[in-house]
Structure 1
Amino acid sequence: MQCFRTEIENPLVERDILELERKIALFKEGKIDEEKFRSLRLARGVYGQRQPGVQMIRIKLPYGRVTGPQLRRISKVSEEYSTGRLHITTRQDIQIHYVSLDRTPELWAELEKDDVTLREACGNTVRNVTASEMAGIDPKEPFDVTPYADETFRYFLRNPICQEMGRKFKMAFSSSDEDTGLSYLHDLGFIPKIKIEDGVPVRGFKVLLGGGLGSQPRHADVASEFIPEDELIPFIEAVLRVFDRHGERARRNKARMKFLVKDLGIDPFLELVEQERKALAFQKYPIETTEYERSRSLPNPESPALDEELGLDFDLWKQTNVLAQKQEGFVALGIRVPLGDFYISQARALADLVEKYANNEVRFTLRQNFLIRDVREDLVPFFYQELKKIGLAERGYNSFADITACPGTDTCNLGIASSTGIAKELEKVIFEDYSQYINNQELVIKISGCMNACGQHNMAHIGFQGMSMKVGQTVIPALQILLGGANHGNGNGRFADKVTKVPSKRGPEALRKILDDFESHAKGLSFLDYYDLKGQRYFYDLLKDLADPSKITEEDRIDWGRNENYERAVGIGECAGVVIDLVTTLLLEAKEKLDLGAEALEDRRWSDSIYHHYAGLINGAKALLLSEDISTNSYANIVKLFDENFVETGRIKLGGSFEEIVYEMRENEPTESFAKAYSVSAKKVYELLKAHRKEEVPA
């Protein structure tokens, strides 16, 4: 693996990769606890999959943007280290599967040659920052949110504040009030707004806070109707500090931000956010957009000839797959990618196409498709011809027939029933029996293989969630059917109701019953209005025959895409990077944090240094509490319990309370003098903690 080390120009990236390589070796030598190692690799985009001995690699693509060279680089990596299949996620990432753990550092190094990262794609970190794929070309947008999403990604990548939070943290930017970024179901969501002040237009954002899906979906609260653009980054940082300190860390199922906001209430939460302001490195953080906007140019390639005359298929494709841009004379092409799966031969041809005839970029979408932007209108027939050659000219982009589904039991540890298998069957039903819906972009079907809602099933008009059903002494694959979810725009949405549970093999018949009933009785009402008119009980009665366990057949015992009888096999989920910390490991990590703080001090990064030292103090205190079987559930709780059990009892003499020492970082501005003083204080406390541990457990 020596060959890739000298080729990484960014020293931070090189250190990351070498650190992963070193920790893999230590793990294989039995020197790192398995659960702790899991936390480290997840934060580097390396995710254990359902099949033993191989990994899923998640490639982090901020706001879904990828250039031609980056797409070729991803293809090269997939060809060499994986299977050649690329999977688009509902968070605009790319995943590749069946990768050997030993080869992940080398794989990462290859990706970084074209500025593609794995860092913080998984684990308890700030995950990929998503954005509407139409950002920058949306006719309805007040301004392009792309540079804001980009700066948010860059500012918080490797930021010490968000490396080991209690759970993952997700942010999204919408391009307009239509809220296609789904702000209301994120930890933080942003909708661009223009406010007139003294006759001058000022850019800013409506901010949604504390939303989420999963088994207990929660609609985000409005944190602010308008935050000026230069306060965006400071506000996010303050929110992350509050979540990092007060967020649940013991009970995984209660550790998301939505639970903290719900428990505290939105106003008390925002008061805590305000208290963090003084400690921030920036009270205002202007984001440069002028240069970005000036750099945007529209392509003007030569017009290539068509191979042959295009027919009816082209006309049908145009109806759903060609989108208007705000730039006159240009359109965007929506490329439908069933189940988000495509292959490196397609990706390479696509890279050539956008580099030569568009604007050298593709944006992956929240519905597992991608968008080719800035296509001259007269080139649309040529693009269709070329896309058809590589199997990427499916009609129905973002339509009812364009079903979103997570990988489910194909590769995911948490999958309960096949989501991809039922998705294929439902698409077949629509194309074969309900072709009138192929152009319908008002109805949405989404499928998840379990309750975690990676397929976003509980915000769809018609949703399906993979489950199991006990029938006598056997367990069969099943689907929870949900109806009535929707995105209303401007940060408002509704979650679907659980209607009934049916065997998976009856999913297509359930869809037929729902659509037939709607066709016969809606009388011009929209699906949501019809659902509200009839109510949940009506649809339960409509589908209850399909749920009847007395009518189970042998076929119902086999899931879609399988040949054998169903067995419910759920592994350990890694979405949240669950960690079982050992005392020694925590003390070592505390020292590592202090060392990182010292490095930041050398680099004159005062705020980063302070936060690294703070994290070191917390890890050290947690180690001693754990050594006495004292459970903790948040960083704030660690501070309180450490004082009660070690300082107030006189067992460790700090010359004051631990709380006073730790929270100096919140009460002081991050100046050079304070950063240096805090470093000295943190190191003294760490030495006292280490000495106490040595006295309690002699070597």
Structure 2
Amino acid sequence: MRSFRTEIESPIVEKDIIELERKIRQFNGGELDEEKFRSLRLARGVYGQRQQGVQMVRIKLPYGKVTSNQLLRICDVSDEYSRGRLHITTRQDIQIHYVDLDRTPELWAQLERDDVTLREACGNTVRNVTASETAGIDVDEPFDVSPYAHAVFQYFLRNPIGQEMGRKFKVSFSSSDADTGLSYMHDLGFIAKIKNGERGFKVMLAGGLGSQPRHADELYSFLPTDKIVPLMEGVIRVFDRYGERKSRAKARMKFLLKDIGLEGFKVLLEEEQLAIPIQTYPIDFESYPKPVVANVEVPSVQLEENEEFQQWKSTNLVLQKQKGYVAIGIKVLLGDFYTDKARELAKLVQEYAAGEIRLSLRQNILIPYVKEELVPFFYSELKKLGFVEAGYNKALDITACPGTDTCNLGIASSTGIAEELERVIKAEYPQYISNPDVVIKISGCMNACGQHNMANIGFQGMSVRTKDKLVAPALQVLLGGGNFGNGKARFADKVVKIPSKRGPQALRLILDDFNANGNRASFADYYWEKGEQYFYEFLKPLSNIENLTQEDFIDWGTEEKYKKEIGIGECAGVIVDLVATLFFESQEKIEKAEEALAEEKWAASIYYSYQSIVNSAKALLTSEKVKVNTHSAIIKDFDKLYVETGKIDLAISFEDITLQLNKNKPTQEFAQSYVEDAKQVLETLEAYRKLELAHA
């Protein structure tokens, strides 16, 4: 396990992996609380699986770009530590399942040899920065957003302000007004713009999916590119202090905006400006690596110009703005493929394209920079791998999360029903294979990892209970969602809940009605013209649960009788508020603050000191069973219960001590004084706690 220490070039990465290894030993030895350990491993991409004793490991791949060498490295890791299956997520990550917890440090170390990380792929962190998979080749883009997405990824990786928020934070970049990065459903969404010859972005704030989807607000119609990193730092600082922490259901950015409004958020954002270490952050897009396309002779290939090839070309080729090149889309069923095929794909793009692939938000693969004359050759090679199914990004291309296959939160199968619906479309509605308008998405629960509530036709895993208290798998049918571009969209309506086995019947009724009455409108327009009640009426008969058969109690993809089993969700990295643990964490934060001081990282040191101060107050409030839902509430309640009552003498108010954070510039002098304040607060509060226990 420890051989990785001599193989990793970066001391920071090596320290990170060693810490994970140490914490695993402490956890296995009973020295570390399970819930606290969960928080740490989630921030290192290690996620508990539905099956006991194994982990899902999420590999963070910024904006879905993967080089051939990185893909080969991921294959090596999957073969060595897992089962050789790779799963593409709707956030352009790759997940591998059934990994032994004790081997995760080795696995991570192997990935880092090709600059691939697990860091902050899960947990209460800044998650993977996503972007349009066509970034850099999009015929409609004003400029390539890849350098900007990469800069954001690098700046916030391991940044202390985004390590322990109330919930996760998601960012996207869209290449053009088509908004294929889906800005409207992100905590921060950036849409590329040019104004008076200057590069910038339209900025969308506080969108989200889940059980209560929220359309993002427009924060800026145009923000110059050198301002996006300072802006994001301010947004995260506000979210970290004022965002909900106790209730997972209310802990996303969208709920904070709902509570205080956009103007209220702007006021808080302005209050943070002095503390932000950089007011401008120019991004040198010209130094971003240019693609190097293989210069090879066109291999001779005998290929009949048959109907299958023509259909594939019509649905799976993407035009590039670079003359003479196209991108090839690979439809990956449910995002799952295996390392034997991945290895051959990596070699193919290395030898005949630009040595990279892009993972898409619809769980597919895009190969950019394919010379037009090489298309028949690529088709023949991809066909050997089973990668030439027509319908890339079309109606046949159904998105689905893992659901009850591996996820703790899965209520009903999403992958099983997705496979069946694709079979129905192929057999009964072949015209939809090339239809880009009808988007179908499926999630196994309300958390919307399959993005069901932004689809034209969406299904959400649920359950139904009969009068005899029998439980069967079910689907919520959602209709009418759509992306209209430039940050504008609609979320789907919840129309009706039906037993899962009737999902194909529902799809048939919907598509048959659309074919008969759609009048060539888009599906979203057709739905909103007809209205929710119209669809409810003809789908309502499918909701009857008084006539269920034995088959209805068996979910898709299984032969066993359905049981509703929901584990503990880990997306938020739950933290148990044990008083002693909190004081210990405060000391750890002070040590990190001092390390940052030694490295002359003043802003990082200041934020660690802030976290220590708030954490120490949280410890005492927890001992009194006071709600500790937000940092701002902790600060005010501590003053009210301890300082103003005279129980603890801090000379000044606790709020004045703590919020020096945003009243001072991040200088060396302030960083040094603030860490001393953090030490004094911890010492005072621990002494009070010891005295309190002595008299208990």
Structure 2 CA distance for aligned equivalents of residues 68 and 368 of structure 1:
18
Structure 2 CA distance for aligned equivalents of residues 93 and 121 of structure 1:
8
AA in 2 matched with 1:84: G
Matches within 5 A, 1:166-185: 166-185=166-185
Q: Indicate yes or no: 2:125 matched with 1:129.
A: no
Instruction: Provide, for residues 61-117 of structure 1, a one-character-per-residue CA deviation record: whole Å limited to 9, x for no partner.
Output: 000011001000000000010010000000000000001111111111111111100
Distance 1:296 1:75, change over 3 A: closer
Q: Is the 8 A contact 1:310 1:381 kept in 2?
A: no
Q: Residue 695 of structure 1 aligns to a residue in which SS?
A: helix
Aligned residue for 2:271?
A: 275
AA in 2 matched with 1:410: D
Instruction: Provide, for residues 578-605 of structure 1, a one-character-per-residue CA deviation record: whole Å limited to 9, x for no partner.
Output: 2222111111111111111101111111
Aligned residue for 2:42?
A: 42
Structure 2 CA distance for aligned equivalents of residues 528 and 666 of structure 1:
46
Give 1:308 deviation, angstroms. 4.8
Instruction: Provide, for residues 19-58 of structure 1, a one-character-per-residue CA deviation record: whole Å limited to 9, x for no partner.
Output: 1111111111111111111111100000001001110000
1:423 to 409, 418, 421: 418
Instruction: Provide, for residues 465-495 of structure 1, a one-character-per-residue CA deviation record: whole Å limited to 9, x for no partner.
Output: 0000111220100000010000000000000
Q: Residue 454 of structure 1 aligns to a residue in which SS?
A: coil
Q: Indicate yes or no: 2:425 matched with 1:413.
A: no
More displaced, 365-374 or 648-657?
Answer: 648-657
Q: Indicate yes or no: 2:245 matched with 1:261.
A: no
Give 1:544 deviation, angstroms. 1.2
Structure 1 CA distance for aligned equivalents of residues 683 and 526 of structure 2:
67
AA in 2 matched with 1:237: E
Instruction: Provide, for residues 424-456 of structure 1, a one-character-per-residue CA deviation record: whole Å limited to 9, x for no partner.
Output: 000000000000110001110000000000000
Q: Is the 8 A contact 2:122 2:571 kept in 1?
A: yes
Matches within 5 A, 1:258-657: 258-292=254-288, 295-306=290-301, 308-309=303-304, 311-472=306-467, 473-657=469-653
Q: Residue 313 of structure 1 aligns to a residue in which SS?
A: helix
Structure 1 CA distance for aligned equivalents of residues 74 and 182 of structure 2:
27
Give 1:519 deviation, angstroms. 1.2
AA in 2 matched with 1:595: E
Structure 2: which 5+ residue stretches go unaligned?
none
Structure 2 CA distance for aligned equivalents of residues 405 and 220 of structure 1:
23
Structure 2 CA distance for aligned equivalents of residues 186 and 79 of structure 1:
34
Q: Residue 225 of structure 1 aligns to a residue in which SS?
A: strand
Q: Residue 438 of structure 1 aligns to a residue in which SS?
A: helix
Structure 2 CA distance for aligned equivalents of residues 221 and 300 of structure 1:
46
Structure 1 CA distance for aligned equivalents of residues 249 and 660 of structure 2:
31
1:251 to 233, 238, 247: 247
Aligned residue for 2:110?
A: 110
Aligned residue for 2:657?
A: 661
AA in 2 matched with 1:511: L
Q: Is the 8 A contact 1:124 1:576 kept in 2?
A: yes
Instruction: Provide, for residues 633-664 of structure 1, a one-character-per-residue CA deviation record: whole Å limited to 9, x for no partner.
Output: 10111111111122122222211111111111
Give 1:551 deviation, angstroms. 2.1
Q: Is the 8 A contact 2:204 2:487 kept in 1?
A: yes
Structure 2 CA distance for aligned equivalents of residues 454 and 530 of structure 1:
26
Q: Residue 367 of structure 2 aligns to a residue in which SS?
A: strand
Superposition TM-score, scaled by structure 2 size = 0.98
Structure 1 CA distance for aligned equivalents of residues 125 and 546 of structure 2:
47
More displaced, 263-272 or 526-535?
Answer: 526-535
Q: Indicate yes or no: 2:99 matched with 1:99.
A: yes
Structure 2 CA distance for aligned equivalents of residues 225 and 526 of structure 1:
27
Instruction: Provide, for residues 591-625 of structure 1, a one-character-per-residue CA deviation record: whole Å limited to 9, x for no partner.
Output: 11111110111111110110011011111111111
Structure 1 CA distance for aligned equivalents of residues 517 and 207 of structure 2:
35
Q: Is the 8 A contact 1:60 1:116 kept in 2?
A: yes
Instruction: Provide, for residues 321-344 of structure 1, a one-character-per-residue CA deviation record: whole Å limited to 9, x for no partner.
Output: 001000000000011001000000
Q: May I ask how many residue pairs the two structures share in their alignment?
A: 694
Structure 2 CA distance for aligned equivalents of residues 395 and 543 of structure 1:
30
Matches within 5 A, 1:20-35: 20-35=20-35
Q: Residue 599 of structure 1 aligns to a residue in which SS?
A: helix
AA in 2 matched with 1:286: P
AA in 2 matched with 1:53: G
Q: Is the 8 A contact 1:400 1:441 kept in 2?
A: yes
Q: Is the 8 A contact 2:293 2:352 kept in 1?
A: no
Q: Indicate yes or no: 2:226 matched with 1:217.
A: no
Q: Is the 8 A contact 1:179 1:490 kept in 2?
A: yes
Q: What's the RMSD between the two structures over aligned residues? A: 1.1
Structure 2 CA distance for aligned equivalents of residues 528 and 678 of structure 1:
55
Structure 1 CA distance for aligned equivalents of residues 95 and 390 of structure 2:
24
Structure 1 CA distance for aligned equivalents of residues 295 and 138 of structure 2:
20
Aligned residue for 2:150?
A: 150
Q: Is the 8 A contact 1:281 1:669 kept in 2?
A: yes
Aligned residue for 1:159?
A: 159
Superposition TM-score, scaled by structure 1 size = 0.98
Structure 1 CA distance for aligned equivalents of residues 448 and 327 of structure 2:
29
Structure 2 CA distance for aligned equivalents of residues 251 and 177 of structure 1:
35
AA in 2 matched with 1:339: L
AA in 2 matched with 1:52: Q
Q: Is the 8 A contact 2:293 2:355 kept in 1?
A: no
AA in 2 matched with 1:117: T
Q: Is the 8 A contact 2:325 2:372 kept in 1?
A: yes
Give 1:310 deviation, angstroms. 5.2
Give 1:296 deviation, angstroms. 3.9
Aligned residue for 1:75?
A: 75
Structure 2 CA distance for aligned equivalents of residues 177 and 321 of structure 1:
22
Aligned residue for 1:8?
A: 8
The percentage of counterpart residues that share the same residue type is 63
AA in 2 matched with 1:695: L
Q: Is the 8 A contact 1:36 1:581 kept in 2?
A: no
AA in 2 matched with 1:364: L
Structure 1 CA distance for aligned equivalents of residues 482 and 254 of structure 2:
19
1:687 to 672, 683, 686: 683
AA in 2 matched with 1:130: T
Give 1:695 deviation, angstroms. 2.3
Q: Is the 8 A contact 2:207 2:215 kept in 1?
A: yes
Give 1:298 deviation, angstroms. 4.0
Structure 1: which 5+ residue stretches go unaligned?
none
